[in-house]
Structure 1
Amino acid sequence: MYYLLKKELFFPPVSEADEDGILAIGGDLSVERLQLAYRSGIFPWFEDGDPIIWWAPNPRMVLFPDEFRVSKSMRNIINRNIFKVTLNQNFRDVISNCKNIKRDGQNGTWITNEMVEAYCNLNQIGVAKSIEVWQNNELVGGLYGIDSGQIFCGESMFSKVPNASKMAFIALVNYLKTNNYQLLDCQVYNEHLESLGCREIPRSEFMKFLK
């Protein structure tokens, strides 16, 4: 049984999520509800045409900034200065590219038009942020996420040329290190994230960092 959200701003405890990490269904993507969700260790993830599904997976994939590994090949690319990186200069273009980019093994995207507008609203109040990667004055890669103060919750990234999304990730981690963030929330496991130094921790440990 999942909790069905109504109009009131409320989420059940994350401990009530099922074994897949699904906690609740319904509600809306208002600025207030999204802020409450991320403060509570919860995020939305659903496909176009489906109801909003709210997740609190256990375990949680995270990166402790000091554990980040930059490959020798990426160090060489950084040294060649083929990319320019900016922070929070073109949020809408970044999330739109994340929405529209073709991904292997996926028919569509989980970033709906409704989500684009919701996260752009969060960007306008300084909660959602983006990193842009440029080559020859063209936006070729980037990522966006939610800035919760000492935790940055990564949402999605895109790349139009090789290594552009890796460059965005490196720039993000450097930003987090410089500003003394505790960790980067990557939500759920994948092999690529693990190769970058991310690892899974119990949801209870993640919640301690949030609080």
Structure 2
Amino acid sequence: MENAEWQEQLGRELYGADFEFSLFPVRGSGRRGLLGYTDAITPSLVFSAYLQGIFPWYNEDEGDPVLWWCPDPRFVLPADELHVPRSIDRFLKHTPYTYTMDKAFPDVMRGCSAMERPGQDGTWIGRQMLDVYCSLAERGIAHSVEAWHDGRLAGGLYGVLIGQTFCGESMFTVEDNSSKSAFVLFARAFVKCGGRLIDSQVYTDNMARYGARNISRTAFLRMESTLLAGKLSGNLRGTFEGTK
């Protein structure tokens, strides 16, 4: 995002990294979902933001401050409404990949950072984001899903798991259908373990194929107030790695 763009949209500053998101009035705030900025980003700050339905999204390389978002509408996938495209369903019957969870979190983030995307110059996954989310992974809050082919990382995805909500952050693909098939297997395991919502944050064609849809920010925050306090009913990693 260009500096002039975020400055024009900015509703307010959130000050330092010790800001309490629980005290911030999200409802009715921010144009296009941009709420404000901080001068730093830490694992604790990111975790507290997710608890309020807020996430960081900024371009470190362009000198942006840490921008915080809660879009309206919000793009979400009710996990039990997952739509699996026929091509992926067929592919999974004979997949050449081996799938794991939390085996290569930093590598998955680096793969997402390096992935070229249409209409996007550069990446929003800079060194600060990598360090913060790797720290969250070490605490069991952020998770990665990997697809391997002959010992090579062929694709994957990562996100933040809190309660019964998985906040999908990014995915990357090196070999055909690697991240798509990994996502479908993960979503199926997530449902089996009592997962309720996959938060995609903003619209993407890719997630629309799986049934994700826009809901109002008010509806999203109402749902999250219950789901974030919930618990999964099984071992997600074990269920995922045993699913095909």
| TM-score higher than 0.5 | yes
Gap regions ≥5 residues in structure 1? none
Offset, 1:4 = 3.2
Counterpart for residue 76 of structure 2: 62
Matched residues, number: 211
Q: 1:124 aligns with which of 121, 126, 138?
A: 138
Amino acid at match of 1:180: G
Offset, 1:92 = 0.6
Amino acid at match of 1:140: A
Taking only aligned residues, the RMSD between alpha carbons, in angstroms, comes to 1.3
Q: 2:148 aligns with which of 131, 134, 139?
A: 134
Counterpart for residue 87 of structure 1: 101
Offset, 1:152 = 0.5
SS at match of 2:184: helix
Offset, 1:105 = 2.4
**What is the alpha-carbon distance in structure 2 between the residues aligned to residue 137 and residue 155 of structure 1?**
24
**What is the alpha-carbon distance in structure 2 between the residues aligned to residue 22 and residue 207 of structure 1?**
16
8 Å CA contact retained: 1:17, 1:57: no
Matched, 1:159 2:173: yes
Counterpart for residue 47 of structure 1: 59
8 Å CA contact retained: 1:17, 1:55: no
Instruction: Judge which range, 72-81 or 141-150, deviates more.
Output: 72-81
User: So what's the TM-score if we normalise by structure 1?
Assistant: 0.95
8 Å CA contact retained: 1:153, 1:185: yes
**What is the alpha-carbon distance in structure 2 between the residues aligned to residue 154 and residue 172 of structure 1?**
11
Q: 2:221 aligns with which of 202, 207, 211?
A: 207
Amino acid at match of 1:8: D
8 Å CA contact retained: 1:131, 1:172: yes
8 Å CA contact retained: 1:16, 1:23: no
Structure 1 residue runs of 4+, over 6 Å off?
none
Matched, 1:34 2:46: yes
Matched, 1:113 2:127: yes
Offset, 1:21 = 0.3
Structure 1's 161 and 84: CA in aligned 2 closer, same or farther, altered over 3 A? same
User: So what's the TM-score if we normalise by structure 2?
Assistant: 0.83
- Matched-pair identity in %: 37
SS at match of 1:134: strand
